[in-house]
Amino acid sequence: MEFGVAESGIPLVAWKGLAREERFLYFMGGVHGDEPEGRDLMIDLLDCWLKNDLGVPVVIIPEFNPDGLIKKTRVNARGVDLNRNMPTKRWGAPLTPSPGETDMTRYFAGAEPGSEPETRAFIRLIEKYPPCAIVSAHSWRPQVNYDGPGREVAEILARFNRYPVTTDIGYPTPGSLGEYAGRERQIPTVTLELPEKIDRKEAWDIHRPAFEEILNWAKKTVLQ
């Protein structure tokens, strides 16, 4: 299903499972175009789950930032960091660089909150198909970071990948998905930071059982 169009005209594509439910488990990748590890993991997940009857309504968005993925840039085609552009209360608050970061243009939050086509399309999507939890795969320093009531989902992932569970990545992220969905809307939201350049098959082998466990968690808890 297309849920929007990026600046270049490339459609934003989400795969949605069973539609009769009211809440959906979201898996996303490719928010930052220079972090292909998360996109690859979500494509492998989609390949696997397409063939199965999951019993849980799922939305998978492997390439949230298709323009950035093509250009291998963190930002979208308009130079905006989509993980700083969500219209949150703290949007646009001064950013402190992450350790070792020199180029702050990589974190540009946009001309105004929710200014980007990808951001607006995502907000429309979650209003139509509300998430019961969101897992968004990135790559940086390996960790399972959560916002809002995301601890249980984060701990499931950490049980399999052994990355530390964190509530703070060390610097503020105003306008992030975690802030918008997790903190402000109390949707369990997990940012999975894979190790940079992790072998694709290794990442899939580690996370496949974790994702299945998250399905089971959703069946037992939030989708009751």
Q: DSSP labels for 179-192?
A: IIIIITT---EEEE
* Nearest distance in Å: CB 166, Zn ion: 14
Comparing CB distances to Zn ion, the nearer of 98 and 115 is 98
CB of 32 to Zn ion, least distance (A): 4
Confirm or reject binding of residue 32 to Zn ion (CB under 5 A). yes
In sequence order, what DSSP letters do the residues of 4-46 get, joined into one string? Answer: EE-TTSPEEE-EE--SSSS-EEEEEE-SSTT-HHHHHHHHHHH
3-state DSSP assignment of residue 100: coil
CB of 218 to Zn ion, least distance (A): 24
17 or 39, CB closer to Zn ion? 39
Burial letters 90-116, b for 16+ CB under 10 A, else e = ebbeebeeeeeeeeeebbbbbeebbeb
Q: Which of 39, 84, 138, 207 binds Zn ion (CB under 5 A)?
A: 138
Which of 56/119 has CB closer to Zn ion?
A: 119
Nearest CA among 153, 220, 197, 190 for reference residue 36: 197
How far apart CA 67 and CA 118 sit, in angstroms, is 10
* Residues that contact Zn ion, how many (by CB under 5 A): 3
Toward Zn ion, which CB reaches closer, 17 or 67?
67
Nearer to Zn ion, 4 or 191 (CB): 191
> Least distance from C-beta 219 to Zn ion, angstroms?
29
CB of 51 to Zn ion, least distance (A): 29
Binding residues vs Zn ion (CB under 5 A): 32, 35, 138
